[in-house]
Chain A
Amino acid sequence: MNSKDILIKVNELYKIFGDGDKNALDLVKNGMGKDELLEKSNCVLGLNNINLNVKRGKIQVVMGLSGSGKSTLIRHLNRLIEPTSGKILFNNKNILNLSPKELIQFRQNNMSMVFQKFALFPHKTVLQNVGYGLAIQNISKDEWSEKAQKWIKRVGLDGYETYYPGQLSGGMQQRVGLARALATDAEILLMDEAFSALDPLIRSEMQNILLDLQSELHKTIIFITHDLDEALKIGDRIAILRDGSMVQDSDPQEIIMNPADEYVSDFIKDINRARVIQARSIMTPTKTKSSGATVKEDMVLEDILQIMSDAPSKPVTIINSKGKITGKIEMVNLIEGMKRPKSLGTNITG
């Protein structure tokens, strides 16, 4: 991995809540778990030795159940929460060394955030909400309202500028939240369960809006969620947290094909494998053309099955985005791929 591509680097980050025991950090570093620590020193272990590299222009998903520390982690990146120990590098500069003034500058220019409960300003109009990040930088009203206007239009809220957040539906409110975060032109977008509070249809719509924007803007996005389908849909990379520790951090396909442990297996057991696993994850590498049809390597198994059902005995040829042949898939591979891995158990009904 080229180190130039990495925009944010989190290094041995620890967070222990509570002011109980001064030795709590040492205890954790020597391997004490969350429950034991709470019992022994009355401290809550928030984050335990987190290492994370976020690539420039990619969507890094951080996943975990509630209480796993994912919201704590994202709040360290803009220092809404201060760590107990560790480093957070942005462009190779440790943001934990920023003075209060520099921190304010950093938040204004480099990072913006979208919140689970929207956290819009109820007393400000949509226009004022979207322009907030610019207005506090002492930019003239004409300038910020013009930019805000542009983003309101971009998220499809034309004509709602003078409305108050309380007059909008949840989905519309989060569009305002998204526009507010985008309006500052920050390079990094922190999204804390941004779509979790929305109902499924609106959530899917918002995910599409985000992907659509991302294909154009190429922001570096850290996206927190507890929903695997959402993670698989938008993540370029997925990190899974459990009790404040990082369990797995890898390519989405890798998580499904090789879950690191029981916890991750649990996460993925209910997904529709045929709809998320891509050809490249199960193909047999080869450079020669096979007898069947030709498909792209990011095609999901469900679609390949559709193609292969016409001629089940003929293996399909897999090509990459540049059109080069990279492998083949036979019917057996397809069945093997859709089957749950052994570690997930053989219980059909479960």
Chain B
Amino acid sequence: MDWFYNFPDMSRSDLREFKKTVDFAFTDFSRTYGQGIEEFFEPLLMFLVWFEKLFINTPWPIIIFSILLLAWIGSRSILIVVGTFLSFMLIGYFGMWEDTMSTLAIILVATFLCIAIGIPLGIAMARSNKVQAAIVPVLDVMQTIPSFVYLIPVVMLLGIGKVPGLIAVCIYAIPPIVRLTNLGIRLVDKDVLEAADSFGANYWQKLLGVQMPLALPTIFAGVNQTIMMALAMVVIASMIGVKGLGLPVLRAISNQYLALGLMNGLAIVILAIIFDRVTQKFGLRMQKYRNEDKD
């Protein structure tokens, strides 16, 4: 009855052998191809460095002015613009300007990458049930696997730095945009699609002229979620060498600096709120036709 009380597991030496094999295989893989992969990402790294420098080296009044302008274009709300202005002044006054700029740079690049990959992926999922069935489990894994776990192979392959950080952020942040693009397109009223069909619209005319515009509010909710998740990932990404607001937070954790942790944490929160409000307002304005009253 021994098997009844003790799980019939693999012997310890076998297990060690198994882990070793996997580890060696991956180490071999990263030794052989690591160089190549790193070279492949070299242009991306150059761009990231350049983009971050652009944010840091541009005089702060110009940056603030550009941000306020974007906030106004996105939200058309004085309240949000004033709030944004005060928030950035406060961040700067407390000496977090440079870190905030680094974070802003990587968030923007990550969001752009997620949109560029996520929306076409969502469209492909909406088009075919088979593609959807294949991608959904992958997204599930990406959203539930502890971030530290996929940091290991990324770091083994690419080492510590901006590019692996960016990849980690993207893995974490891309699922919502993919899911919501798929959902948004699938939720488009069938009657309306039938009408487009009956007038002889082809696939692309339907996609670009009917499905995407009608799915846009949902897709935008996805963009919003992706930005929020990218910001949430900033602290973890700082563990593998991404500069920005996450780094001081990490230092604060290991040294129990309460004020430092709070300040930088709150700066991340402020960025999140501004991004969220501006993108949400923008999303609402895009579906103006749904909200306008009859007259």
Task: Give the interface of A toward B (CB within 8 A).
Answer: 78, 80, 103-109, 111-113, 115, 117, 119-123, 132-133, 136-137, 164, 166-169, 180, 184, 190
Contacts and interface: CB of A to CB of B under 8 A. Distances in A.
Nearest to A104: B200
B9 interface: no
* Interface size class of chain B, counting residues whose CB lies under 8 Å from the partner chain: 20 to 34
Given A107-B199, A166-B290, A184-B199, A122 B214 contact: yes
B198 interface: yes
B289 A133 contact: no
A111 B200 CA distance: 9
Nearest to A109: B200
B192 interface: yes
Given A115-B194, A136-B209, A123 B214 contact: yes
B294 to A, nearest CB: 5
A336 B195 CA distance: 47
A190 B199 CA distance: 11
Interface in B267-295: 289-290, 292-295
Contacts, number: 71
A105 B201 CA distance: 9
B192 A105 contact: no
A80 B194 CA distance: 8
Contacts of B294: 166-169
A16 to B, nearest CB: 21
A113 B198 contact: yes
Contacts of A106: 200
Nearest to B198: A113
A121 B196 CA distance: 9
A186 to B, nearest CB: 9
B17 interface: no
Nearest to B293: A167
A112 B198 contact: yes
Interface in B212-227: 213-214
A117 B192 CA distance: 9
Contact of B199 (A103, A136, A166, A167): A136
A190 B289 CA distance: 28
A121 B194 CA distance: 11
B6 interface: no
13 contacts: A78-B198, A80-B194, A105-B200, A106-B200, A107-B200, A117-B191, A121-B195, A122-B192, A122-B290, A123-B289, A133-B200, A167-B292, A167-B293
